[in-house]
């Protein structure tokens, strides 16, 4: 998928055809506006408010105690960008916005809510490129809302992805001990324990992740089977004799040497015959074609963590160098899944 500027009437089509050199400028300018307007509307609850009933800008501003002038400009922008529709002086949601941009939208909504925190990091891209000094928001959050929005997004992502990962992994024999590295709010550990009744899981993550995850584990009735090891994955002792070490969406948060440390610690934590399972974003490497979403996610991981989406070939090479064998991998849309064994 490539971003483009699409004309909406014959005059715009003629203008773009005769001035093609304007397309990069229009993409840059429109992109800034679209991103900021949608993220702001999600975080302010505008889509959820309009999902209840069509409203005027003045009525919506009064009900939500927001500035009326700013609300008018915001709603007009959302209308112009196609996310809501104006009928007279009232605004209503499009069907697509109602499905994805309200709280019922799940992962899309939660990711866009986190987008406000990502935007503050995007603004530092020039400095990041100049210096190479990029703070990792896991250890150094750059905004007060970042951690809460991040864990909400991780929960939505885990609920959506876990069944697919477990189905693909085809773990046989069934694992009895699992280490979920940087497992956040426990969605994957909960899903694995439900799929394998004899499994006990340890989640290695920071203390604030444990505070979010423990109530969810208790709610799932799995407090006797899932526990946290609180600490930094690069420094903390992982333990040993695990049947399964699971690394989901963590390699892209690390720099190359840190990724290799994580894989070495995975090897040390596994018993002979144990399995390493990786769930991360897909990158085709030098020989593949990059799509706009692939490029965007890699950029996001750079500005928020100093990492990137690592190419599939690089991940497989690291695993081989570490000593893992019987490697298998697959691309599932934008996701890469990899499994290997410690012989």
Domain 146-341, architecture per CATH: 3-Layer(aba) Sandwich (3.40)
- Centre a 10 Å sphere on the Cβ of residue 7 and count the other Cβ atoms it contains: 12
For range 197-206, the mean pLDDT = 97
Q: Is residue 181 within 8 Å of residue 233, measured between CB atoms? A: yes
Residues forming CATH 3.40.50.150 domain(s) in the chain: 146-341
Sorting pLDDT into bands at 50, 70 and 90, what band is 268? Answer: very high
Burial category of 144 from C-beta neighbours within 10 Å (exposed 0-12, middle 13-18, buried 19 and up)? exposed
Say if residue 64's pLDDT is above 80. yes
For the beta sheet containing 325-332, the strands, ordered from the edge strand earlier in sequence to the opposite edge, are: 226-230, 200-205, 177-181, 242-248, 270-281, 335-341, 325-332
Report the pLDDT averaged over residues 125-152. Answer: 87
Q: What pTM, to 2 d.p., does this model score?
A: 0.86
Give residue-wise pLDDT tens across range 2-32.
556 566 666 555 455 555 555 666 677 778 8
* Nearest C-alpha neighbor of 47 from the set 4, 117, 122, 99: 99
CATH hierarchy code of domain 10-105: 1.10.10.10
For residue 325, the tally of other CB atoms under 10 A from its CB is 10
Domain with CATH 1.10.10.10 in the chain: 10-105
Report the chain's mean pLDDT, rounded to a whole number. 92
Chain segment 79-107, per-residue pLDDT in tens: 999 999 999 999 999 999 999 999 999 99
């Amino acid at each position: 998928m490539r971003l483009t500027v699409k004309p909406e009437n014959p005059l715009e089509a003629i203008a773009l055809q005769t001035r093609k050199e304007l397309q990069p400028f229009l993409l840059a300018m429109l992109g800034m506006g679209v991103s900021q307007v949608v993220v702001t509307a999600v975080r302010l609850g505008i889509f959820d408010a309009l999902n209840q009933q069509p409203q005027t800008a003045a009525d919506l501003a009064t009900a939500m105690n927001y500035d009326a002038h700013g609300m008018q400009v915001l709603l007009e922008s959302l209308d112009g960008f196609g996310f809501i529709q104006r009928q007279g002086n009232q605004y209503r949601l499009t069907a697509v916005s109602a499905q994805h941009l309200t709280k019922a939208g799940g992962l899309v909504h939660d990711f866009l809510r986190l987008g406000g925190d990502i935007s503050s990091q995007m603004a530092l891209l020039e400095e990041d490129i100049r210096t190479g000094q990029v703070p990792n928001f896991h250890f150094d959050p750059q905004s007060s809302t970042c951690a809460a929005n991040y864990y909400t997004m991780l929960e939505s992502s885990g609920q959506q992805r876990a069944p697919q990962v477990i189905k693909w992994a085809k773990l046989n024999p069934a694992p009895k001990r699992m280490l979920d590295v940087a497992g956040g709010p426990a969605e994957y550990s909960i899903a694995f324990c439900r799929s394998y009744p004899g499994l006990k899981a340890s989640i290695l993550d920071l203390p604030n992740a444990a505070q979010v995850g423990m109530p969810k584990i208790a709610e799932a009735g799995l407090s006797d089977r899932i526990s946290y090891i609180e600490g930094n994955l690069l420094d903390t002792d992982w333990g040993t004799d695990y049947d399964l070490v699971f690394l989901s969406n963590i390699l892209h948060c690390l720099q190359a040497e840190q990724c290799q440390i994580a894989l070495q610690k995975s090897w040390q934590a596994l018993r002979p015959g144990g399995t390493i399972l990786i769930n991360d974003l897909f990158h085709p490497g030098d020989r593949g074609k990059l799509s706009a979403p692939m490029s965007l996610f890699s950029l996001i991981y750079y500005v928020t963590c100093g990492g990137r989406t690592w190419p599939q070939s690089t991940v497989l090479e690291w695993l081989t160098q570490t000593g893992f064998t019987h490697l298998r991998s697959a691309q599932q849309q934008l996701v890469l899944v990899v499994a290997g064994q410690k012989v």
